[in-house]
Amino acid sequence: MKNNFLIILLITFGLFSCSQEDETPLTQLEGTYLGNLLGSDDNPQFVEMTFQANGELKIEEFRINGKNERCYSSISEGKYSLKGNEFTYTINTFLGLDPAAFSECFSQSELMAYLENSGLIQVGSIELKSENTVFSISYPCYDTFANARVNLCVGYSDFVLQD
């Protein structure tokens, strides 16, 4: 009888001592993905996201002019993490259009630094598709945003891995 009691006690202790981990595994993306801003069909605003395995991310927003050149509106660089469907992007550098300059097509070198080592954080939801070769991303829409980028509220098309 004592042996049965000890066995039941050990089984009960074993069941309750094991903690169930709710941690969602981290996912890594690597490569360059291209999408565009929804609603910009007449003159598409493209968004290129380049992910590195070390967690670095570069986002370039641009249009293509009649000469097939990239006309940049912004470039940001920072670190990203994916945990489940939560996408977190910590922006270290943000380059945007210079309000004092006028050009029909801005090159990378003509963009102006707005944020350097800022640590500005954007958190959104990501849905990975087709074995991580396609994803969609969405952000909560607030009335105002630190860098006044309303495209976060409008949304993006699916991002597709480029060759």
Q: What SS3 string covers 94-156?
A: EEECCCCCCCCCCCHHHCEEEEEEEEEEEEEEEEEECCCCEEEEECCCCCCCCCCCCHHHHCE
Q: Over the stretch 8-59, which tens digit does the pLDDT of each residue have?
A: 434 444 444 444 445 555 578 899 999 987 666 677 889 999 999 999 999 9
Domain extents in the chain: 22-161
Question: Could you tell me the pTM of the whole model?
Answer: 0.75
Q: Over the stretch 99-121, which tens digit does the pLDDT of each residue have?
A: 888 888 899 999 998 877 677 88
Q: What CATH class has 22-161?
A: mainly beta
Q: Is the per-residue pLDDT at 135 higher than 60?
A: yes
The pLDDT of residue 101:
81
